[in-house]
């Protein structure tokens, strides 16, 4: 199972993706569709047309990793959305991977503190 910190941002591309795509192909989708930085450490999730295969891609500080899951039976159920990209939290991704229908899940009220996000650096600063 994939364990992610609760602060990790997770984005799902809701359109079918060719699972033959690797780092460069998935990076192209991320740069074109998502309003996020490729090197941010955010996790980007893709599924195929039959929704029996899922790929997740992220930057870990010194390289990209891809996590791939193929179901032997059943399908992944993504949240219903009218948009091409949807943001999830780690618990929702875990439920999707575990085969839980998100439409039947009801969340209990919890306290959440609003944490401001710091701007992400996209380039290394050069020393003078």
pTM of the model: 0.77
Q: Using alpha carbons, select from 52, 40, 53, 50 the residue that is nearest to residue 87.
A: 40
**Beta carbons of 16 and 47 less than 8 angstroms apart:** yes
pLDDT of residue 126: 45
pLDDT of residue 65: 93
Specify the DSSP class assigned to residue 103: G
The percentage of the chain sitting over the pLDDT mark of 70, rounded to a whole number, equals 87
pLDDT of residue 119: 57
Q: Looking at per-residue confidence, does 121 or 96 come out higher?
A: 96
Residue 68 has pLDDT above 80, yes or no: yes
HSE-up (13 A, CA, CB side) for residue 51: 13
Highest mean pLDDT among 12-26, 31-45, 77-91, 99-113: 12-26
pLDDT of residue 116: 63
pLDDT of residue 128: 44
């Amino acid at each position: 199972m994939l364990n992610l910190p609760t602060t990790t941002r997770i984005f799902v591309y809701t359109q079918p993706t060719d699972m033959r795509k690797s780092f460069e192909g998935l990076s192209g989708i991320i740069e074109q569709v998502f309003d996020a930085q490729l090197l941010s450490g955010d996790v980007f999730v893709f599924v195929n047309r039959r929704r029996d295969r899922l790929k997740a891609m992220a930057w870990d500080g010194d390289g990209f990793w891809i996590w791939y899951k193929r179901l032997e039976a059943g399908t992944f159920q993504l949240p219903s959305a009218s948009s091409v990209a949807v943001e999830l939290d780690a618990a929702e991704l875990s439920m999707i991977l575990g085969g839980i229908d998100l439409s039947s899940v009801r969340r209990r009220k919890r306290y959440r503190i609003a944490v401001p996000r710091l701007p992400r650096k996209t380039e290394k600063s050069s020393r003078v």
